[in-house]
Amino acid sequence: MKIKVGVIFGGESVEHEISIITACQAMKNMDSDKYEVVPIYIAKDKTWYTGAMLKEVDVFKDFEDLKRFASKVVLVKTESGFELQKVSGLFRKTVNYIDVAFPIVHGKGAEDGSLAGYLDSIGIPTCESNVLASSLGQDKVVQKQVLNACGIQTPKYVWFFDSEYLDNPSKYNKEIKKLGYPVIVKPANLGSSIGIKIAKDEEELTKAINEAISYDNKVIVEEVVKNLQEVNCAVLGNYEYQETSSIIEMKTGHAFLTFEDKYIGNGKKKGQFKAAPKSGESTLVEEANLTKDMEEKVRSISKETFKALNFSGVVRIDLLIDTKAKEVYVNEPNTIPGCLSFFMWKNNGKSYKQLLDDIISIAIKDFKSKSKKVTSFDSNVLSSYSGSKGMKGAKKF
């Protein structure tokens, strides 16, 4: 019997469309001999839908007109398993069920641990990091605090809440000035380079912070690493075992890798290995040009980051190298990376189908391991509890 994999995607974040693209790619590449794919789409209004039609990316170009052909559902645990039940009608009719949940969502409201928490609460095997790891992976401030505590270097930074900055901008401007211009301004909880700006002086800083505040109530301002070489290394595994992918180098004609670079850029396909772009041209990726010692250092730091933040499944670690000082800094991890970073495993001899199979296998193994842990006691504390007197005045509903 095939394992029924519920691929959950969409969500309310600004990375909604990227999630759709990543999920549709993954669904087409899952091993059809082993898995039956069940698409579960979360619309921007947080409504959940399922239906075979949702496997096709073209459906989402005009979803408002086509959503009547999909079923509105909720995922619940019953005696029969994990069921997708219709929310309309007099009775909750079961339209499908799943054995494993495979979240492929990006950004706030899902990737940040919100979805992981719900899935964990109903007890289903899940192909992503747990609640804590997902939350740490999303919040650029807290993740740096944890990494620094573990002795893992990150760029120097200043962070604040929007209300703090608006109440006293000069205080934070002075702190940021100590980092040295230029600086890079980011919303603390977004991905895909959305809301990120480079500021070369205080005037540009103010504009960049105001834009970041429009996306998030928490903002981080970082130093720009000198003599920069930006690389990515994906890590696959769990707390017991980690495997690293090829290390790729990100090059762009812009000051940093933009949303357009990652997902739109001149119609070129993301994930191709090409030569460096000309000034102003969209980014392409190629294998990183590193010495053997530096390659080993990048792989080691990537694994350390994966373990320190308690990740599971596949995670892409973005790193910044000061080529002159030969220092490596962790920029940020991506707990559910775009395209699941499948193109980074090509030189390891791992196909996209095999990568997806590995991720699902890790989820099932972790679930079985966790199921063996003690979660409750046989003793009934309530049997000797004498607080029932307080119920005399309770109303019956």
Over residues 189-234, the pLDDT tens digits come to: 876 567 899 999 999 999 999 999 998 999 999 999 999 999 999 9
Of 250-254, 307-311, 320-324, the one with minimum mean pLDDT is 250-254
- Letter for the amino acid at 342? F
- Taking alpha carbons only, the member of 242, 232, 233, 231 closest to residue 313 is 242
Distance CA 49, CA 70 (A): 6
Let me know how long the chain is: 397
pLDDT of residue 186: 95
Confidence (pTM): 0.86
pLDDT of residue 53: 95
**Per-residue pLDDT band at 261 (split at 50, 70, 90):** very low
pLDDT of residue 371: 85
For a pLDDT cut of 70, what percent of the chain falls above it? 85
What Cα–Cα distance (Å) separates residue 77 from each residue in 81, 88, 113, 118?
6, 18, 20, 11
Give yes or no for residue 94 having a pLDDT over 60: yes
pLDDT of residue 390: 53
Give yes or no for residue 341 having a pLDDT over 90: yes
**Per-residue pLDDT band at 393 (split at 50, 70, 90):** low
Average pLDDT of 264-291?
A: 54
Reported as a single tens digit per residue, the pLDDT across 108-148 is 778 889 999 999 999 999 998 999 999 999 999 999 999 99
- Letter for the amino acid at 312? S
For a pLDDT cut of 90, what percent of the chain falls above it? 74
Tokens of 175: 């702190």
Give yes or no for residue 273 having a pLDDT over 50: no
- Letter for the amino acid at 49? Y
Give yes or no for residue 258 having a pLDDT over 80: no
pLDDT of residue 81: 95
Q: Is 272 exposed, middle or buried (0-12, 13-18, 19+ CB in 10 A)?
A: exposed
pLDDT of residue 370: 87
Arithmetic mean of pLDDT over the chain: 88
Q: Do 303 and 244 touch, CB atoms closer than 8 A?
A: yes
The residue among 76 and 378 whose pLDDT is bigger is 76
The residue among 374 and 18 whose pLDDT is bigger is 18
Distance CA 158, CA 197 (A): 15
Domains of the chain: 3-126 (3.40.50.20), 156-223 (3.30.1490.20), 228-365 (3.30.470.20)
The residue among 305 and 92 whose pLDDT is bigger is 305
pLDDT of residue 278: 42
Q: Locate tokens 């070369």: which residue?
A: 200
